[in-house]
């Protein structure tokens, strides 16, 4: 049960995430600063890491005796502990905090009141029993006095605890909001939190039955975030942090990871027929090349234009051969996007010399590689054939006359090229994200090799997948980009109408 519930929790968490539009970010140098981080000096305790362990008793109670009754218990504690707090003038504690750590900071009379009001029902003893699993539980003697000992039920108690944590992991869930209210209500009743209006006071004391809850819940969460985070109270802050750390450590030490089975990865298209459709274009393209060729001197524009297409055919075919799902399919997409943008840029600029620059830059790279092989690299890489690179470097002119350009060949970058060529949409859709995979950036690594552990007691941490994630199909995009490259050729060397198509599987 825990696994399913945690999965739902995580889904909700994902859906609730503030998606922050790009425009709301502030540009500082090369960084886009998120709206939240634009507020100066924001330091806060995290709900899941630091505050949830203090209110886990609330989650246990909700699961154990039902939400409505639990809320009434919270309300009674709020009234009695809150009122008692303000009845006595000279207090050593500054707020009636009822989190597990906060309780241990209260004066004795307040602690006694809390336990007395809480334990009015035998079912509450059963509900809260998992708390005694923790060796470092603050006020453990008091808890044991009411809850008794573990008495051989450890497994069941850990499961009950996991179920309670599962409903609280999302800081905005109904149950988490209930617990955050339960933390605040004694403080509100004590008069130590000055609410602005009578209305706000009622929203608190009559929760969840007064006013529109869509407005009340965020208000409760915002106040709890400040007071529960130990603002202006370093001693409380440090103590709470220590208990939270103990809580999660004990959860990890005593329970195991739960990995979900990998999703089955099916090839959604007819791989053989699709690849042969792409292969078929090669021969037609060769015919078109011969038919339109008039000269034998170096024709930078012609060679590059046809070359882009043959190269795109090769890359697309390889991407498709990896069933469109392997990591290399994303790299193929990125390569196709770059070929398309470069090709379109060269056409758009309408400067014949640029084709020569593109070509001689490439020859310069071959020369540079040859020189490094010859003079610098002691361990020669196996994939480069010296004679091959040498021949390439010398092909258009003897390499001694060839300059080597170390920057970008067009003295710009691909993003700017895409703007000039009016195809920034291709850059955004097919270059940026696959680049994360090409560079091995964190999200690409995480996405491919890690999954989330579904044990709620492990805070949704990451564990290795049983096998890499091969679920995203790039096949439609590979075909689309390949055909866009062929469209460009048709523009400059008409007419070439043949296009690749994704052949669907035959459904019998
Ligand atoms: Zn785990």
- pLDDT for residue 40 is more than 60: no
What is the 14 CA–ligand 1 centroid distance (Å)? 19
pLDDT digits (tens, 9 = 90+) for 416-470: 999 999 999 999 999 999 999 999 999 999 999 999 999 999 999 999 998 899 9
Please report the pLDDT score of residue 42 as a whole number: 47
What is the 447 CA–ligand 1 centroid distance (Å)? 17
What is the 449 CA–ligand 1 centroid distance (Å)? 15
What is the 6 CA–ligand 1 centroid distance (Å)? 12
What is the 461 CA–ligand 1 centroid distance (Å)? 6
Please report the pLDDT score of residue 255 as a whole number: 97
- pLDDT for residue 400 is more than 90: no
- Burial letters for 32-45: b for 16+ Cβ neighbours within 10 Å, e otherwise? eeeeeeeeeeeeeb
- pLDDT for residue 15 is more than 70: no
What is the 11 CA–ligand 1 centroid distance (Å)? 18
What is the 205 CA–ligand 1 centroid distance (Å)? 38
What is the 3 CA–ligand 1 centroid distance (Å)? 11
Name residue, tokens 């939270």: 244
- The distance of Cα 147 from the centroid of its chain, to the nearest Å, equals 40
- For residue 455, the SS3 value is coil
49-63, 121-135, 229-243: which range is least confident on average? 229-243
What is the 266 CA–ligand 1 centroid distance (Å)? 28
Please report the pLDDT score of residue 438 as a whole number: 97
What is the 270 CA–ligand 1 centroid distance (Å)? 39
What is the 466 CA–ligand 1 centroid distance (Å)? 14
What is the 444 CA–ligand 1 centroid distance (Å)? 21
d(CA 6, CA 258): 11
Name residue, tokens 């809150």: 82
Q: In which band, very low, low, confident or very high, does the pLDDT at 41 lie, cut at 50, 70 and 90?
A: very low
What is the 131 CA–ligand 1 centroid distance (Å)? 20
What is the 167 CA–ligand 1 centroid distance (Å)? 17
Cβ(118)–Cβ(135) below 8 Å: no
What is the 409 CA–ligand 1 centroid distance (Å)? 49
What is the 49 CA–ligand 1 centroid distance (Å)? 15
The torsion defined by the Cα of 58, 62, 63 and 66, in degrees rounded to 10, comes to 160
d(CA 128, CA 117): 14
Cβ(191)–Cβ(87) below 8 Å: no
What is the 236 CA–ligand 1 centroid distance (Å)? 29
**Rounded CA Rg of the chain:** 33
d(CA 264, CA 447): 16
Domain boundaries, the chain: 46-254, 271-492
List of residues 6+ apart from 450 with CB closer than 8 A: 462, 463, 464, 465
What is the 507 CA–ligand 1 centroid distance (Å)? 41
CA neighbor of 228 nearest in space, from 190, 196, 203, 193: 193
List of residues 6+ apart from 395 with CB closer than 8 A: 363
Cβ(504)–Cβ(274) below 8 Å: no
Taken in order 45, 213, 199, 188, is the CA torsion positive or negative? negative
**Secondary structure letter of residue 47 according to DSSP:** I
- Burial letters for 450-481: b for 16+ Cβ neighbours within 10 Å, e otherwise? ebbbbbbbbbeeeeebeebbbeebbbebbbbb
Cβ(9)–Cβ(169) below 8 Å: yes
21: number of CA atoms within 13 Å, CB side?
2
- pLDDT for residue 8 is more than 70: no
Q: What is the DSSP string of 115-161?
A: HHHH--SHHHHHHHGGGGG-TT-TTHHHHHHHH---TT-HHHHHHHH
What is the 57 CA–ligand 1 centroid distance (Å)? 22
Higher pLDDT, 95 or 35: 95
What is the 408 CA–ligand 1 centroid distance (Å)? 46
What is the 17 CA–ligand 1 centroid distance (Å)? 22
pLDDT digits (tens, 9 = 90+) for 291-311: 998 887 889 999 999 999 999
d(CA 102, CA 183): 10
Please report the pLDDT score of residue 36 as a whole number: 60
What is the 453 CA–ligand 1 centroid distance (Å)? 5
Cβ(97)–Cβ(183) below 8 Å: yes
- pLDDT for residue 134 is more than 90: yes
- Residue 191 sits at the vertex; the CA angle it makes with 189 and 197, to the nearest 5 degrees, is 90
What is the 255 CA–ligand 1 centroid distance (Å)? 8
Phi, psi of 452 (to 5 degrees): -95, 135
Taken in order 24, 27, 32, 35, is the CA torsion positive or negative? negative
Mean pLDDT of the 57-62 span: 98
d(CA 240, CA 234): 10
- For residue 279, the SS3 value is helix
CA neighbor of 359 nearest in space, from 391, 389, 387, 397: 397
What is the 494 CA–ligand 1 centroid distance (Å)? 59
């Amino acid at each position: 049960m825990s696994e399913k519930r945690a999965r739902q929790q995580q889904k909700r968490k994902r859906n609730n995430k503030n998606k922050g539009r790009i425009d709301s970010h502030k540009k500082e140098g090369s960084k886009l600063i998120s709206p939240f981080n634009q507020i100066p000096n924001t330091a806060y305790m995290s709900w899941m890491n630091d505050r949830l362990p203090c209110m886990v008793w609330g989650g246990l109670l909700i699961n154990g005796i039902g939400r409505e009754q639990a809320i009434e218990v919270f309300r009674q504690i709020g009234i009695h502990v809150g009122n008692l707090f303000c009845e006595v003038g000279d207090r050593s504690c500054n707020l009636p905090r009822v989190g597990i750590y906060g309780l241990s900071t209260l004066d004795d009379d307040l602690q006694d009141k809390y336990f007395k009001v809480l334990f009015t029902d035998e079912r509450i003893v059963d509900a809260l029993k998992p708390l005694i699993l923790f060796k470092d539980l603050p006020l453990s003697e008091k808890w044991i006095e009411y809850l008794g000992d573990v008495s051989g039920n450890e497994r069941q108690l850990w499961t009950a605890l996991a179920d309670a944590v599962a409903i609280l992991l999302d800081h905005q869930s109904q149950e988490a909001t209930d617990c955050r209210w339960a933390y605040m209500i004694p403080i509100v009743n004590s008069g130590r939190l000055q609410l602005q209006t009578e209305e706000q006071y009622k929203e608190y004391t009559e929760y969840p039955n007064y006013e529109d809850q869509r407005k009340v819940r965020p208000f409760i969460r915002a106040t709890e975030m400040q007071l529960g985070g130990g603002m202006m109270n370093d001693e409380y802050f440090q103590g709470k942090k220590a208990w939270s750390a103990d809580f999660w450590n004990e959860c990890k030490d005593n329970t195991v990871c739960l990995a979900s089975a990998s999703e089955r990865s099916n090839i959604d298209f007819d791989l053989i027929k699709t690849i042969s459709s792409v292969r078929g274009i090669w021969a037609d393209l060769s015919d078109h090349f011969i038919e339109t060729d008039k000269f034998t001197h170096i024709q930078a524009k012609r060679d590059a234009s046809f070359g882009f297409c043959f190269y795109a055919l090769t890359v697309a075919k390889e991407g498709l051969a990896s069933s469109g799902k392997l990591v290399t399919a994303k790299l193929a997409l990125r390569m196709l996007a770059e070929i398309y943008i470069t090709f379109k840029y060269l056409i758009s600029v309408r400067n014949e010399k640029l084709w020569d620059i593109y070509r001689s830059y490439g020859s310069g790279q071959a020369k540079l590689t040859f020189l490094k092989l010859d003079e610098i690299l002691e361990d020669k890489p196996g994939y480069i054939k010296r004679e091959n690179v040498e021949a390439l470097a010398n092909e258009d002119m003897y390499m001694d006359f060839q300059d080597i350009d170390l920057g970008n060949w067009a003295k710009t970058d691909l993003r700017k090229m895409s703007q000039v060529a009016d195809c920034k949409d291709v850059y955004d859709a097919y270059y940026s994200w696959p680049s994360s995979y090409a560079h091995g950036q964190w999200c690409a690594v995480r996405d491919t090799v890690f999954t989330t552990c579904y044990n709620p007691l492990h805070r949704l941490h990451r564990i290795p997948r049983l096998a890499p994630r091969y679920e995203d199909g790039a096949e439609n995009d590979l075909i689309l980009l390949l055909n866009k490259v062929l469209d460009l050729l048709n523009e400059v060397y008409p007419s070439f109408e043949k296009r690749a198509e994704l052949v669907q599987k035959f459904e019998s």
